[in-house]
A and B are shown apart, each in its own frame.
Chain A
Amino acid sequence: MQRILIILTLTLFSLNSFSQIEQLKKTCSINFPSNYISDGQEYFAALKPDQRIEFRTTFYADNTYRISACTNAKKGKLVFTVYDTEKNLLFTNESFNYSPFWDFRFTSTVTCIIQVDVKNPQFIPGYVMLLIGFKQ
């Protein structure tokens, strides 16, 4: 009986996580119109108050990319910040009213580090998701 309850609890927990991620995908996709081509990967991770997520990715020359970021963490604003590999700050949505998306036009190929965290140490943990796509 105890084993059944544990399995049931774990199943319900997984289903809850699944639906949270699905919902997050829908939210993020609102700012990801059909003329942007996904890179074929989905980036999401659980985020707690003392953590941040880091992505390191390469953006190719003569392309425009959209980054769309979203979270279901409560009581906090999602911040995404883009650096080059020499630590130069290229962009932060904190300077633009925490915009959930932004377009990046690259004149040359640049490898960037994207950091994602939530502004407020007291926020309620949740998932964060990032969609990256190039403009067709």
Chain B
Amino acid sequence: MIETLTMSLRLPKSKLALVLISAFLASCKPSPKQDNETTQPAADTLSTLVKVENAIFPIPSPWQVVNLIQKNNIPFNESCINSTKNYQRYTTSFKQAVNLGIYGTDLSYLNIYDKTQESLQYLGVIKKLSEQLRITESFDEKIFERIENNIENKDSLIKIISDTYASSDLYLKKNERYDISALVVAGCWVESLFIMTKIAQEHNDREIINRIGEQKHPLDNLVELLTPFYYKSTEFANLLDSLIDLAYEFDGIIYSYTYREPIVDEANRVITIRSQSRVVMSEYHLKIISKKIEQIRSSLTE
């Protein structure tokens, strides 16, 4: 406890307070459920609008990052993904869960380049990790058969992978294994940001750089998602500390937002949100975010 507190004291007061209060609340509860009745820290700009009693923190899909890479015709880079040789190092449930997320993002990255053989290897590792984590209900034989049968159909595969991860997320939450669920999500997110920063540095792709800048709110959500487990282990505390440290770098990015009235197409049940946002990210911020996410990712994969 003292060691963890010492690490936390490096943090500025506001975020340290958030972590400590949330961790304290989590430690008072029988299980780290998100659907608690305690007042959670409200979304900053909505704090006067509602009293938040149940807050859930979604993280945007890592599969969308892969879609963006595909759209921009960026060549494959093997150094973006975690080697399957590393999986034997993952002997704790923390490492197994977080790398299940990392390998899931890697599998979808491989998928867009038609890397069939490599995809099968990654699939094998995902299967082993899911067995070690006892999530075999979601990652059952039928799923692997479906994936293998669709390995050359990009669109089908991405659908099956995302559905399988959603199904395992539901299974973990039903069984109150919220910590494992959060770690899988964290692994997916860390890997997708890592891949984006590698690409941004090599190709200076403006759309990818903007997408990196847009990770501010998803990162805040990830911090909220992991905070109840801060005192669960040193590994959790270290990960959360490093993500909070990364979040400070996002505070330096300039964001602007202009509201425009949406247009509703009632017949087709579609609404077009026309509000405009803009991200201005300096080279300095890109470099520092790239460096920090690489360090975080290394600490999870090594």
Residues of A within 8 A of B (CB): 17-18, 21, 25, 34, 37-47, 50-61, 63-64, 83-88, 90-91, 96, 99, 101-111, 113, 115, 132-134, 136
- Report the bound CA distance from A33 to B140 in whole Å: 22
Q: Do A41 and B59 have beta carbons less than 8 Å apart?
A: yes
Q: Bound state CA distance, A51 and B268, in angstroms? A: 31
CB pair B262 A91 closer than 8 Å: yes
Q: Which parts of B21-45 form the interface with A (CB within 8 Å)? A: 34-35, 37, 43-45
Question: For the complex, is B204 an interface residue (Cβ under 8 Å from A)?
Answer: no
Counting CB contacts under 8 A, is B253 at the interface?
no
B-side contacts of A40, CB under 8 Å: 61-63, 104, 162, 165-166, 169, 185, 188
Q: Which residues of B contact A133 (CB under 8 A)?
A: 61, 162
Q: Are B276 and A60 in contact (CB under 8 A)?
A: no
Binds A, one of B8-16, B115-123, B213-221, B283-291: B213-221
Residue in B58, B167, B257, B270 whose Cβ sees the most chain A Cβ within 10 Å = B58
| Per-residue contact bits, chain B 35-79, to A (CB 8 Å; 1 contact, 0 not) | 101000001111001101111111111111001000000000000
CA distance A90 to B261 in the complex (A): 8
Interchain nearest-CB distance for A130 vs B (Å):
8
Q: Which residues of A contact B45 (CB under 8 A)?
A: 85-87
Q: Which residue of A54, A83, A99 has the most chain B CB atoms within 10 A of its CB atom?
A: A54
CA distance A29 to B155 in the complex (A): 19
The reply to whether B273 and A99 form a contact with Cβ atoms under 8 Å apart is no
Can you name 17 A-B residue pairings with CB atoms under 8 Å?
Answer: A37-B159, A40-B185, A41-B165, A41-B169, A42-B166, A45-B34, A45-B54, A45-B56, A50-B53, A51-B37, A53-B56, A54-B50, A55-B55, A57-B59, A105-B272, A110-B273, A133-B162
